[in-house]
Amino acid sequence: MAMYVFKDAARKHKLLARDAQKQDKSSRFYCPNKKCNAHMSVRSLDGVSKAYFAANQSQSHVKGCPYKSRRFQPNLYDGNGFVFDDALLSLTMPSKSQSKSDIPGEHGTGEVAPKPIRTIRQIYSMCKSYDCSDSYNGKIIGQMLLDERSAYMYSKGVFGWRLIELKYRYYSSDRKEIVLVCPQNGKEYTFIMRFGNEKLFKEIRKIVYENRNHLIIVAGEWNSSGKYNAFCTEIKSKKQLTIVK
């Protein structure tokens, strides 16, 4: 599912779900993922739920496409209660006992009120569902997630709370650091995960190395590392990282 698509195969003409019209119901649209040839169509245009785009069964998404159905579903969450910096800060805190389900649902005979998105995977899925120039509860998507779409917004560097789509480069056991990279406008930014806890470093090092060929999503408060085009954040919890396969 996606909150935007393209009208043409060249991905030049964008259409946001909230701007879709009745005449668009019979049209075929193109997945935001340039590597995916899924046939997208508008859904729930006349329903009580917010309109969105999903792939037709005849031509579904390629394996690993971030716009597959059943990803972020805005109607299940309280968008007005979402505060990005607070959500990322909470990911650095020790885990609390909670239900295994991340998605609000029914409990007993009464319905549970929707809650704001909170996990790194939920936040990442939300950001990927929207265009980087769009917004969620007043916050620009590209100011929450740095990926290939929003890279142009970061010509002066990456500072503050951000979710970043990264690839593994190497680790240093001596410095308790894991180094990753992200392309940015033809340049390459380096991102360093630093650890004060050796046990946590070893746990995450194992996860990252075993998934070194996949995308690694890291949430943190980023600052200059003191090196050119290199930024760092302190990792305090496994909740700050997820793998996209």
Return the minimum-mean-pLDDT range out of 110-114, 116-120, 192-196, 235-239: 110-114
CA distance 187 to 173: 27
Tell me the pairing of strands 215-224 and 230-235.
Answer: antiparallel
Q: What is the DSSP-derived secondary structure letter of residue 176?
A: T
As a whole number of Å, the end-to-end CA separation of the chain is 17
Give the model's pLDDT for residue 59: 81
Per the domain annotation, does 222 fall within a domain? Answer: yes
Per the domain annotation, does 93 fall within a domain? Answer: no
CA distance 86 to 144: 12
196-243 tens-digit pLDDT: 999 999 999 999 999 999 999 999 999 999 999 999 999 999 999 999
Per the domain annotation, does 94 fall within a domain? Answer: no
- For the chain, what is the mean pLDDT? 89
Name the pLDDT band for 100 (thresholds 50, 70, 90): very low
Per the domain annotation, does 229 fall within a domain? Answer: yes
Per the domain annotation, does 118 fall within a domain? Answer: no
Per the domain annotation, does 103 fall within a domain? Answer: no
Give the model's pLDDT for residue 183: 64
Domain boundary among 55, 74, 98: 55
CA distance 35 to 244: 16
Per the domain annotation, does 70 fall within a domain? Answer: no
Number of domains in the chain: 2
- Domain hosting residue 225, numbered range: 155-244
Residue 89: which H helix or E strand, with range?
Answer: helix 84-91
Listed in sequence order, the residues at least 6 apart from 3 whose beta carbon sits closer than 8 Å to its beta carbon are 16, 17, 18, 52, 53, 74, 129, 130, 131, 134
Give the model's pLDDT for residue 185: 58
161-173 tens-digit pLDDT: 999 999 999 999 9
Per the domain annotation, does 166 fall within a domain? Answer: yes
Domain with 240 in it: what CATH number?
2.40.50.110
CA distance 68 to 139: 24
Domain boundary among 31, 55, 79: 55
